[in-house]
Amino acid sequence: MAKKKEPAKPAADPSKLKVQDHKTLDALRSLAQEVLDYAERGRAPHIEVPSRSLSNVRFNQSRKIIEMGSGTNRRELFNLAQAKSYMQTLLVSSGCKQLIEQGKTTSIRGMFYLLKHTIEGTREETFETQDECDPIIEDVEVMLDALREELHLYAQKRGEMVGRITIVDKGDEIDCSRMGSGGYGIPSIVEPDIIQFKKCEADFILHVEKDTVWQRFNEDRFWEKNRCILTHGSGQPPRGVRRLLNRLHHELNLPIYCLLDNDPWGYYIYSVIKQGSINLAYESRRMAIPGAKFLGLRSNDFERCQLTPSVQIKLNEQDIKRAKQIAQYPWFASKKAWQKEIDMMLKNGFKLEVESLISKDISYVTETYVPERLEEGVFLD
Amino acid sequence: MSQASAADSSDSIEGTSSPAPEHRRRTTAEAMATKQRDISVSEFFAKNRHLLGFDNPRKALLTTVKEAVDNSLDACEEAGIIPEIWVHIETTGTNRFKVAVQDNGPGIVKKQIPLIFGKLLYGSKFHRLRMSRGQQGIGISAAGMYGMLTTGKPVLIVSKTAPRKPTHYFELQIDTKRNHPEIINGKGEGEDIHPGEKGLKYIAERGIAWVGHYPAPMRPVNAASASRSPEQAGGHTADAATGNAASSGTKGAEASNAGAASGAGPSTGSAVSGGGATGGAVIGGAAGTGDSTAAETPEGMRVGDELRSGTRVTIELEGRYIRGRGSVDEYLEQTAIANPHVTIHYRDPEGQEITYTRATTKLPPEPTEIKPHPYGVELGRLVTMLKDTSAGSISSFLTDSFSRVTSAVAKSVCEAANISVRANPKRIGRQEADALYQAIQNTRISPPATDCLVAIGEELILKGLHQVVPGEFYCAATRPPSVYRGNPFLIEVGLAYGGASQAQKVSLETLTEMLSESDSRTLRQFLVTTFDGIGGQAADRIMEESKMATRQSPGKLAKADIQRLHAAMRNVNLSEGQSMQVLRYANRVPLQFQPAACAITQSVIQTNWRAYGLTQSRGQLPSGPVTLMVHMASVWVPFTSESKEAVASYPEITKELRLGLQAVGRKLAMYLNRRNRVRQEGERRSIFLRYLGEVAQAVGRIRDMDNPSREAIYERLLNVAKRKTSEADARFDDRGKRLSEDGDDFGDNVLIVGE
């Protein structure tokens, strides 16, 4: 048993704790109390962790978002396969409690380092890598029904924004049209108490997949000419980006168009933005944007834009498997246009990245492709 | 001749052009006849000593001890005396040893002594069909002859048949030409020594070696018998006194104290003999008083009592003493396993004394002699028997000379052979004998009676193995008797699992000595050949651990090197690379050589030990800390050669061996499964325990608890964990039923140590 003496850290003044913090702390305490009760009665303790898998999500037809079901997984202390994750779950809980009480926030990587130590009397680490820690944090989120920021945690910042909007971030006014070439880094936590929208002159939002494409649009001042907000999420957008898009869409009534690769991964990024992810289905309500539209690239763009065959990337087995899987998701299954789109890609036998349009002309994508698509007004839904 | 004619014919084919070479006679039939004469048996064996196991000096030493001990045991058992054997080996020069073996057997009458020890092919065992160790009557006289040939020293025999009768003392030499003994002492008549004190005094004065009294239980000197503590040794003697095998240890200790006290009373008898017989006569005082608590030797004799009867044979011979595999030490150790009713006092050439104390005082029942079974008789033998018989008719010949032949069977045999039942056996011609032989083979005759076989018994195998082989699990199986070629036989298998290998028990001094004695060329070879249970793999690991060069010669190691090797042998986990040790026995005699040629080893290899939880490569002995003893008891053990080293594989024997091995294999598998379960439970528990501390701390932090309360949670969780793991263990039982602690049904005769 670890008898390490912990220096008594002064807890933050309880009066400074927010209402939300009290709620989270209560949830954490009752989790610990459960363990005590089990031990008291000489029973083997366990935790019910809501299941974060495809089998436990359902597609809400009316709200058009993925919602988490009521299925849970039991995590037992006295089960060989679960003993360690049980211990880790309690460690993460105790870490969050510490953060909340001290009124500080840390990254999930910071959390990993906060909790990582060698288990006394062994050579085993509580967490070997961050990959072990991250899913446990997500478990704790769902278990306590608390958002990540409510646990005083944030993920690494990823994704940028420029455009005709002025926001206030922790009291600092930021004009996103004056961000130079770098753009505004979208923080992990973008809740209204942190970020407020001050002034918006944009008509729509263009979300692109990656930094390189985003740079092209920014350099060409696309957002200026087309009165829009330009964002990217470095591939699968992190929660901060998705939450911000969600707020922009709902609070400012801005339509969202996504410019993603024509491959299964692009489809799934769109799917996550639109319906929410399977893994974080409990967050869908805050994050999903059912009104988001898929602008491109389309499977017929190879012919429509008369691209050279050298930009084709052959589909590998994994791509084909994933494409078929995505086609099966209930939120894709009922959409004929999407079925046709996926079918066509499979028939083509190749995928296309947004960057492939550069082969036509460096600014083809900003000057021709996107304006034309917006003009046509034909999007995949 | 055939070679010559072949050459001739090839000549004639090749040399068609040249004239055939003229045959010149080198010698004539008459000239050759002058050189043709009798070959004496002794001369034959003197030249072909390897046939009898005297192929090299090392083996000669072993064979000598072996033949003498086997004879002693046979004699004791036949006379119904619980055997006590003394084996003394003394170095008399470079590669010269004086081997003395003494027993407390019935002794030999004066007239027979020279013939038994001085004439080859003279014995009581050859002509009868009865289970005994010796079979041919060659052994001991051959050993004497070998000794005489190599050292020129006579064989010395001391024998005594009863307390009040004189002791006979002979010095013998063998006339190899005539296969006849020559008595050297007492003007060719031998010497008679007075019985009683006077005689013992004379023996001492003449310097004749003779152990006159039973020694007190000795403290084991050597590590080989270190498993027996003094208390245990005392316990054995006490068992003997009360005839109660289950006597408690404390009782035994008391008894031995009492015994020592009573022995020390009137004389120093027990003290002297207890200190180790000095080889010469040990003159003891009067025997202890008739105190009932006095420690007794099994035969009803008290410690320090005079030997009532016995025989001692001393042979000086050229030999080599090397410990390890195939050594005298190994032979005696293995003999002790298969003969748990025997006590052996052994003094090795370095003067160290080892005593293998008996585990039981019950003599094995006397094997009965049987007549041959008709199926086992060859045609030539049948013809001889027909000539020699005194029966008046074929019918009575068959019924009298063979077992299991009733007059009805005899009649059907005669009918099948087309011979009259009343025909005179002496007049049966060659062809009729052939027909008779065929008829016998084709007639259904019930198998021979098997009560002539005496098994060691499962219980005694366990005792014997436990006494000598350290381990944690022992089991045994005795198969019902079966028949090969008309000879009844039975197979017994004992198995010991666990325990350290011999190599890990060896002391630094002994290792140093062994290294200097070894004639292996490389250190690796030394390890593999010297120690049982070390295979090539284990040897390699020892070499690696000790950082020795593979081709290092064992004789040239520095002291530091030996120390490093010794440490490596202790530290390396040998049980992984250790191969199964197979102890083979035929009629309780250990078979130490030619393992590969033996049906027993072959059967062990062919058995699928993987099914029983051991690892085994194809065509190899299984590996693991396992000692297997396999005993074949038969009225006639089919050896592959005269030196009696390997059992021939008859299908019937192989089958019984397989069944016996499978029987112990199943028990071993059960034990290993259970052990694995215990281990798994332990592992499971340790995983839980590992995380409990963290869980308790985490809960404590969340609930802002102080350290003592955190400890309290930990303790509570710990209790749950303990209960949980034992429950889980019961639930996970492979038969799907909840088993209690000792619910495994191992059947009879299983010994589990240290649980």
B695 neighbourhood in chain A, CB within 8 Å: 35, 77, 86-87, 90
Whether residue A2 and residue B694 make contact (CB cut-off 8 A), yes or no, is yes
Average pLDDT, chain A: 87
For range B365-388, the mean pLDDT = 83
Please, what is the end-to-end C-alpha distance for chain A in angstroms?
A: 56
With cut-offs at 50, 70 and 90, classify the pLDDT of residue B281.
very low
Question: For residue B472, what pLDDT is reported?
Answer: 83
Whether residue A28 and residue B688 make contact (CB cut-off 8 A), yes or no, is no
CA–CA dist B652, B588 (Å, integer):
20
Whether residue A94 and residue B702 make contact (CB cut-off 8 A), yes or no, is yes
With cut-offs at 50, 70 and 90, classify the pLDDT of residue B283.
very low
With cut-offs at 50, 70 and 90, classify the pLDDT of residue B272.
very low
B702 neighbourhood in chain A, CB within 8 Å: 28-29, 31-32, 90, 93-94, 97
CA–CA dist B674, B745 (Å, integer):
11
* Mutation site for B-interface testing, chosen from A41, A78, A79, A127 by largest number of B Cβ within 10 Å: A78
Which of B693, B697, B724 is opposite residue A44, by nearest beta carbon? B724
DSSP 8-state symbol, B722: H
With cut-offs at 50, 70 and 90, classify the pLDDT of residue B299.
very low
Which of A36, A119, A124 is opposite residue B713, by nearest beta carbon? A36
Which amino acid belongs to residue A182? Answer: G
Q: What is the pLDDT of residues A306-364, one digit of tens each?
A: 888 898 899 999 999 999 999 998 888 888 999 999 999 999 999 999 999 988 899 99
- Report yes or no: B494 and B476 within 8 Å, Cβ to Cβ: yes
Q: Is the pLDDT of residue B741 over 60?
A: no
With cut-offs at 50, 70 and 90, classify the pLDDT of residue A160.
very high
Which of A40, A43, A78 is opposite residue B688, by nearest beta carbon? A78
B684 neighbourhood in chain A, CB within 8 Å: 80
With cut-offs at 50, 70 and 90, classify the pLDDT of residue B101.
very high
A121 neighbourhood in chain B, CB within 8 Å: 690, 693
**Angle at alpha carbon of residue A318, lines to A313 and A319, rounded to 5°:** 45
CA–CA dist A128, A106 (Å, integer):
19
Distance in Å, alpha carbon of A94 to nearest chain B alpha carbon: 5
Q: Is the pLDDT of residue B387 over 90?
A: no
Question: For residue B685, what pLDDT is reported?
Answer: 74
- With an 8 Å Cβ cutoff, is B731 touching chain A? no
With cut-offs at 50, 70 and 90, classify the pLDDT of residue B653.
very high
With cut-offs at 50, 70 and 90, classify the pLDDT of residue B739.
very low
- Report yes or no: A280 and A54 within 8 Å, Cβ to Cβ: no
Whether residue A91 and residue B724 make contact (CB cut-off 8 A), yes or no, is no
The catalytic residue among A113, A257, A270, A282 is A113
- Residue A193 burial (C-beta neighbours within 10 Å; 0-12, 13-18, 19+): exposed
Which of A5, A80, A97 is opposite residue B702, by nearest beta carbon? A97
- With an 8 Å Cβ cutoff, is B699 touching chain A? yes
The tokens for A94 are 């105790």
Question: For residue B494, what pLDDT is reported?
Answer: 93
- With an 8 Å Cβ cutoff, is B724 touching chain A? yes
The tokens for B380 are 């030539």
Question: For residue B575, what pLDDT is reported?
Answer: 61
Question: For residue A43, what pLDDT is reported?
Answer: 84
Q: Is the pLDDT of residue B227 over 80?
A: no
* Mutation site for B-interface testing, chosen from A35, A84, A136 by largest number of B Cβ within 10 Å: A35
Q: Which fold has domain B453-501+578-755?
A: Ribosomal Protein S5; domain 2 (3.30.230)
For range B207-224, the mean pLDDT = 61
CA–CA dist A356, A344 (Å, integer):
18
For range A4-11, the mean pLDDT = 48
B719 neighbourhood in chain A, CB within 8 Å: 42
Q: Is the domain defined by A14-154 classed in CATH 1.10.760.10?
A: no
Distance in Å, alpha carbon of A91 to nearest chain B alpha carbon: 5
Domain segments of chain A as ranges: 14-154, 160-376
- With an 8 Å Cβ cutoff, is B198 touching chain A? no
B698 neighbourhood in chain A, CB within 8 Å: 32, 87, 90-91, 93-94
Residues in chain B: 755
Residues of chain B with CATH 1.10.8.50: 374-442, 502-572
For range A117-137, the mean pLDDT = 85
Say which CATH class B502-572 falls into: mainly alpha
With cut-offs at 50, 70 and 90, classify the pLDDT of residue B10.
very low
Sequence-separated contacts (24+) of B437-441 with Cβ below 8 Å: B437/B377, B437/B379, B437/B382, B439/B413, B439/B414, B439/B415, B440/B374, B440/B375, B440/B377, B440/B382, B440/B413, B441/B375
Question: For residue A342, what pLDDT is reported?
Answer: 92
C-alpha pair distances (Å), A144 with each of A32, A105, A139, B667: 12, 18, 9, 54
Question: For residue B1, what pLDDT is reported?
Answer: 41
With cut-offs at 50, 70 and 90, classify the pLDDT of residue A4.
very low
- Which comes out higher in pLDDT, residue A366 or B468? A366
For range B741-745, the mean pLDDT = 51
Distance in Å, alpha carbon of B702 to nearest chain A alpha carbon: 5
- Which comes out higher in pLDDT, residue B131 or A82? A82
- Report yes or no: A31 and A47 within 8 Å, Cβ to Cβ: yes
Of B87-101, B250-264, B350-364, B741-755, the one with minimum mean pLDDT is: B250-264
* Mutation site for B-interface testing, chosen from A1, A29, A89, A102 by largest number of B Cβ within 10 Å: A1
**Most confidently predicted of B138-142, B304-308, B614-618:** B614-618
- With an 8 Å Cβ cutoff, is B178 touching chain A? no
A32 neighbourhood in chain B, CB within 8 Å: 698-699, 702-703
Nearest CA in chain A to B684: A80
CA–CA dist B227, B235 (Å, integer):
14
Q: Is the pLDDT of residue B84 over 80?
A: yes
- With an 8 Å Cβ cutoff, is B289 touching chain A? no
Work out the percent of chain B whose per-residue pLDDT is above 90. Answer: 11
Active-site annotation holds for A364: no
The tokens for B746 are 């191992």
Nearest CA in chain A to B704: A29
Strand pairing class (B155-160; B96-103): unpaired
Q: What kind of architecture, by CATH, is found in domain B374-442?
A: Orthogonal Bundle (1.10)
Nearest CA in chain A to B683: A80
Whether residue A86 and residue B713 make contact (CB cut-off 8 A), yes or no, is no
A97 neighbourhood in chain B, CB within 8 Å: 701-702
The tokens for A293 are 């539209």
Question: For residue B174, what pLDDT is reported?
Answer: 83
Q: What kind of architecture, by CATH, is found in domain B46-195+309-347?
A: 2-Layer Sandwich (3.30)
Q: Is the pLDDT of residue A230 over 90?
A: yes
For range B323-327, the mean pLDDT = 81
Question: For residue A118, what pLDDT is reported?
Answer: 87
Q: Is the pLDDT of residue B561 over 50?
A: yes
Beta-bridge partners for B490: B633
Which of A87, A120, A122 is opposite residue B695, by nearest beta carbon? A87
**ipTM of this predicted structure:** 0.78
With cut-offs at 50, 70 and 90, classify the pLDDT of residue B616.
confident
Question: For residue B145, what pLDDT is reported?
Answer: 85
Whether residue A78 and residue B728 make contact (CB cut-off 8 A), yes or no, is yes
Interface of A with B (CB under 8 A): 1-6, 28-29, 31-33, 35-36, 38-40, 42-45, 77-78, 80, 83-84, 86-87, 90-91, 93-94, 97-98, 119-122, 124, 126
CA–CA dist B401, B390 (Å, integer):
10
Nearest CA in chain B to A27: B702
Burial A218-230 (b: 16+ CB within 10 A, else e): beeebbeebebbb
Q: Is the pLDDT of residue A373 over 60?
A: yes
With cut-offs at 50, 70 and 90, classify the pLDDT of residue B289.
very low
Which of A1, A43, A97 is opposite residue B720, by nearest beta carbon? A43
Average pLDDT, chain B: 76
Distance in Å, alpha carbon of A157 to nearest chain B alpha carbon: 29
Residues of chain B with CATH 3.30.565.10: 46-195+309-347
Of B13-27, B40-54, B134-148, B472-486, the one with minimum mean pLDDT is: B13-27
Please name which of B636, B609, B633 lies closest in space to residue B623, comparing C-alpha atoms: B609
- Report yes or no: B412 and B421 within 8 Å, Cβ to Cβ: no
Whether residue B713 and residue A39 make contact (CB cut-off 8 A), yes or no, is yes
Whether residue A119 and residue B690 make contact (CB cut-off 8 A), yes or no, is yes
Of A294-298, B123-127, B735-739, the one with minimum mean pLDDT is: B735-739
Q: What is the pLDDT of residues B456-492, one digit of tens each?
A: 888 888 888 887 787 888 999 999 888 888 788 999 9
- In this structure, the number of other CB atoms found within 10 A of the CB of residue A262 comes to 24
For range B704-714, the mean pLDDT = 86
- Report yes or no: B662 and A55 within 8 Å, Cβ to Cβ: no
Strand pairing class (A256-259; A293-296): parallel
Distance in Å, alpha carbon of B721 to nearest chain A alpha carbon: 7
Question: For residue B308, what pLDDT is reported?
Answer: 84
- With an 8 Å Cβ cutoff, is B729 touching chain A? no
CATH annotation of A160-376: 3.40.1360.10
CA–CA dist B511, B489 (Å, integer):
41
Of A9-23, B59-73, B136-150, B200-214, the one with minimum mean pLDDT is: A9-23
Residues of chain B with CATH 3.30.230.10: 453-501+578-755
Question: For residue B248, what pLDDT is reported?
Answer: 37
Q: What is the pLDDT of residues B194-204, one digit of tens each?
A: 887 888 888 88
Question: For residue B9, what pLDDT is reported?
Answer: 44
Question: For residue B351, what pLDDT is reported?
Answer: 85
